[in-house]
């Protein structure tokens, strides 16, 4: 039996991953990544950078992407709960402009693999959340792009929280999906 359950989302390459958790009265143990199993599931990527962020309830980060140096991401939550979203920006994809969302939490221990060519964002649902992710390329300053979290052409159905969404100033200025061209994702 494998240590991971790889769940397709209906969008090529976008995968929800459930690890096998071994627990007893002392706590639990799980593997969060095992190259052979990921490769066998079609995720044959080299991860070159790990990131972690902490946010409070209502923080909405995204929807972000890098243009010339796109990053595939393996994301998970180590404390708290978030609603995580990926939007397909690959012009040749049958699901171009479609989104998928999944709740990730310290409790459910799910992970989400987001390939290159996607915008990514998340909304914090718990009082606080710690979010960690592996990337297939390095962060490149000046290569960032984004689309508004509430873009009507994408129409992500974000959950409601009992506070206002908290966005960065930068995330409030992204041009809409229809106003952008995503030619740099042609190869993906």
> Does residue 2 have a pLDDT over 90?
no
Catalytic residue among 100, 113, 133, 184: 133
Active site residue 174: no
Asked if 16 and 7 count as a contact pair (C-beta separation under 8 A), the reply is yes
Q: Alpha-carbon distance 94 to 151, whole Å?
A: 20
Angle at 95 between CA 43 and CA 16, to 5 degrees: 40
> Does residue 102 have a pLDDT over 70?
yes
Q: Alpha-carbon distance 46 to 59, whole Å?
A: 29
Which domains are delineated in the chain?
Answer: 4-21+32-185 (2.60.120.10)
Active site residue 133: yes
Helix (H, G, I), strand (E, B) or coil at 166: strand
Per-residue model confidence as pLDDT tens digits over 103-156: 999 999 999 999 999 999 999 999 999 999 999 999 999 999 999 999 999 999
Catalytic residue among 64, 69, 96, 165: 64
Q: What is the pLDDT of residue 43?
A: 96
Helix (H, G, I), strand (E, B) or coil at 22: strand
From residue 119, give the alpha-carbon distance in Å to each of 58, 72, 108.
Answer: 19, 10, 23
Give the pTM.
0.95
Per-residue model confidence as pLDDT tens digits over 61-100: 999 999 999 999 999 999 999 999 999 999 999 999 999 9
């Amino acid at each position: 039996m494998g240590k991971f359950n790889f769940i397709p989302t209906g969008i090529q390459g976008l995968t929800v991953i459930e690890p096998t958790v071994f627990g007893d009265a002392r706590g639990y143990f799980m593997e969060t990544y095992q190259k052979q199993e990921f490769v066998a599931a079609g995720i044959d990527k080299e991860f070159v950078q790990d990131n972690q962020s902490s946010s409070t309830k209502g923080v909405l980060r995204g929807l972000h992407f890098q243009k010339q140096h796109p990053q595939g991401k393996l994301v998970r939550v180590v404390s708290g709960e978030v609603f995580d979203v990926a939007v397909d920006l690959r012009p040749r994809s049958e699901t171009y402009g479609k989104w998928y969302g999944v709740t990730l939490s310290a409790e459910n221990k799910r992970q989400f693999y987001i390939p290159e060519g996607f915008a990514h964002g998340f909304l914090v649902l718990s009082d606080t959340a710690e979010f960690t992710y592996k990337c297939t390329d390095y962060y490149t300053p000046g290569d960032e792009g984004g689309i508004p979290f509430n873009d009507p052409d994408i129409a992500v159905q974000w959950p409601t929280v009992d506070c206002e969404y908290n966005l960065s100033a930068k995330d409030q200025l992204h041009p809409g999906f229809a106003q952008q061209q995503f030619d740099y994702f042609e190869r993906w």
